[in-house]
């Protein structure tokens, strides 16, 4: 009878949303189950992050012209301050590295980190990956506590988990629940998705915080919630620690993620397609297109091949395959198990550099903030003029105020020919001024931005 009573109290401690502070520490001389010992070791590694950004007022061009301001005695435009709150996880105590979400620190002019012991430190940016929504920042490594990574223990639906973060700016808060689902994708939240779904309460401000198991090991980075008006309804999502660790390694090494490229388009297999291809297995994807001069073409892959496994791991859908390839490094060799005309084969491919096709202009230069950049080839009679296209433009953004328009094709920057986004990034790096040669309709013109 006593064992049943202790078990029921344990369940109440895990799932009750009501205060249990009045419960005794012992019942009939025996200690009650508690998560407190684990949390005493885990919570010092979870930090609160506050960012501050200065947003210039671009609403009225007259206010930005010093001559017109002087002539008409117009007031000087005042920049406004933007603040945001979030969470982060110390993952390397010796070097002071903190893992958080990209959207927590995106566009920040200053990043302030508050530790569990009350210390407030200034952080510097190390690198960010908007496609997965992860970022690495760094603080002085003085008497820090890091959260250990999960030791390759397979996650299961129903495992107990604890979320630690800073919801609504209240300060460090702990909630508990279970893993509701694994491998959630195609949600439209990020470009690369393989989420852990949990019913542990996650609210605004929890972003970048830790999802831990009952051993106090990091199993995920809390990222998003699904609910009306951003409210919690028991559906939260976290980036798996395995994915976060791979992304973090590249961010520390390169400041960005250099994603690999295989050069294929794939499609999920329906029951009818499985029958048409004569497949007995219930996993795999079919190749619909192979890019010319791609690693896939050099490896001998063809449209109609069915990929069953990548490096020995079963392929369970297009999203999973895309995530797996996106985490591979340039130059890495992979083995693909395929079915072609009913026969199994094994092919080897070497991952190549994936040229970035789109980028937000602010990541290249503050002058280009607000412009969506895309690699583009423009027909010029018999030839194609390559360049970087302004595909989207935010109204009153710095890029718009600097004279750029949707449809402009940048062909050179600072007197260097620009064929791709990578070339544009190289041409404008560390430049105080920006001299752009662009095509606008049938016209060509230079634009000097200072």
Q: How far apart are CA 283 and CA 271, in angstroms?
A: 11
Compute the average pLDDT of residues 323-337. 85
pLDDT digits (tens, 9 = 90+) for 349-371: 998 876 666 778 887 888 888 88
Under 8 Å between Cβ of 92 and 146: yes
Q: How far apart are CA 198 and CA 211, in angstroms?
A: 9
Q: What is the pLDDT of residue 381?
A: 41
Positions marked catalytic: 103, 133, 207
Burial of 220 (0-12, 13-18, 19+ CB in 10 A): buried
Burial of 59 (0-12, 13-18, 19+ CB in 10 A): exposed
Between the alpha carbon of residue 165 and those of residues 43, 47, 77, 404, the distances in Å are 9, 7, 37, 41
Under 8 Å between Cβ of 45 and 145: yes
Total residues belonging to the chain: 450
Q: What is the pLDDT of residue 372?
A: 87
Contacts of 386 (CB under 8 A, 6+ apart): 375, 376, 377, 378, 411, 419, 420
Element (H, E) at 92: strand 80-92
* Phi, psi at 93, each rounded to 5°: -70, -35
* Phi, psi at 40, each rounded to 5°: -60, -30
Under 8 Å between Cβ of 99 and 254: no
pLDDT digits (tens, 9 = 90+) for 2-26: 444 444 444 444 444 433 344 455 6
pLDDT digits (tens, 9 = 90+) for 144-175: 999 999 987 789 999 999 999 888 777 888 99
Confidence of residue 317 (pLDDT cuts 50, 70, 90): confident
pLDDT digits (tens, 9 = 90+) for 190-231: 777 788 999 998 888 888 999 999 999 999 999 887 766 655
pLDDT at 379 over 50: no
User: What is the DSSP secondary structure assignment for residue 117, as one 8-state letter?
Assistant: T
pLDDT digits (tens, 9 = 90+) for 34-64: 888 899 999 999 999 999 877 655 445 545 5
pTM above the 0.75 mark? Answer: no
pLDDT digits (tens, 9 = 90+) for 232-266: 677 889 999 989 998 999 899 888 887 778 888 88
The full set of domains in the chain, from first to last, is 2-34 (no CATH), 45-138 (2.40.10.10), 160-254 (2.40.10.10), 260-353 (2.30.42.10), 358-449 (2.30.42.10)
β partners of residue 251: none
pLDDT digits (tens, 9 = 90+) for 390-441: 988 888 888 888 888 988 899 888 888 888 887 888 788 767 788 888 888 8
Q: What is the pLDDT of residue 219?
A: 95
Q: What is the pLDDT of residue 445?
A: 87
Angle CA 106–110–113, to nearest 5: 95
Angle CA 364–191–284, to nearest 5: 140
Tokens of 274: 């499985």
Confidence of residue 27 (pLDDT cuts 50, 70, 90): low
Q: How far apart are CA 349 and CA 305, in angstroms?
A: 14
């Amino acid at each position: 009878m006593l064992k049943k009573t202790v078990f029921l109290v344990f369940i109440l401690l895990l799932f009750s949303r009501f205060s249990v502070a009045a419960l005794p520490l012992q019942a009939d001389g025996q200690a009650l189950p508690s998560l407190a010992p684990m949390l005493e070791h885990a919570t010092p590694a979870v930090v609160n992050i506050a960012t501050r950004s200065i947003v210039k007022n671009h609403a009225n061009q007259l206010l930005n012209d010093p001559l017109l301001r002087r002539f008409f005695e117009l007031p000087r435009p005042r920049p406004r301050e933007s603040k945001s709150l979030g969470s982060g996880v110390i993952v390397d105590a010796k070097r002071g590295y903190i893992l958080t979400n990209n959207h927590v620190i995106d566009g920040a002019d200053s990043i302030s980190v508050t530790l569990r012991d009350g210390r407030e430190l200034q952080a510097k940016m190390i690198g960010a990956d908007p496609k997965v929504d992860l970022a690495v920042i760094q603080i002085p490594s003085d008497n820090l506590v890091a959260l250990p990574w999960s030791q390759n223990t397979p996650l299961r639906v129903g495992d107990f988990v604890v979320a630690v973060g800073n919801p609504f700016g209240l300060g460090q808060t702990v909630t508990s629940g279970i893993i509701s689902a694994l491998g959630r994708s195609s949600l439209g939240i990020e470009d690369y998705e393989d989420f852990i779904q949990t019913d542990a309460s996650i609210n605004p401000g929890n972003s970048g915080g830790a999802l831990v198991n009952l051993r106090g090991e990091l199993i995920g980075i809390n990222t998003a919630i699904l609910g009306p008006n951003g409210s919690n309804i028991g559906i939260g999502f976290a980036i798996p620690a395995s994915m976060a660790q791979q992304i973090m390694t590249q961010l520390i090494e390169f400041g960005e993620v250099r994603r690999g490229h295989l050069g294929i388009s794939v499609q999920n297999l329906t029951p009818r397609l499985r029958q048409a291809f004569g497949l007995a297995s219930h996993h795999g994807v079919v190749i619909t297109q192979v890019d010319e001069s791609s690693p896939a073409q050099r490896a001998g892959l063809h449209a109609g091949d069915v990929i069953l496994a990548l490096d020995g791991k079963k392929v369970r859908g297009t999203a999973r395959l895309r995530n797996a390839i996106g985490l591979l490094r340039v130059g890495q060799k992979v083995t693909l198990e395929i079915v072609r005309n009913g026969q199994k084969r094994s092919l080897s491919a070497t991952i190549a550099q994936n040229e970035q096709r789109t980028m937000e202009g602010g990541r290249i230069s503050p002058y280009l903030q607000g412009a969506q950049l895309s690699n583009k080839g423009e027909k010029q009679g018999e030839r194609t003029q390559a360049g970087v296209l302004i595909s989207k433009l935010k109204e009153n953004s710095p890029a718009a105020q600097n004279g750029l328009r949707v449809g402009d094709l940048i062909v050179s920057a600072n007197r260097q020919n620009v064929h791709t986004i990578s070339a544009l990034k190289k041409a404008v790096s560390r430049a105080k001024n920006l001299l752009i040669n662009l095509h606008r309709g049938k016209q060509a013109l230079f634009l000097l931005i200072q």
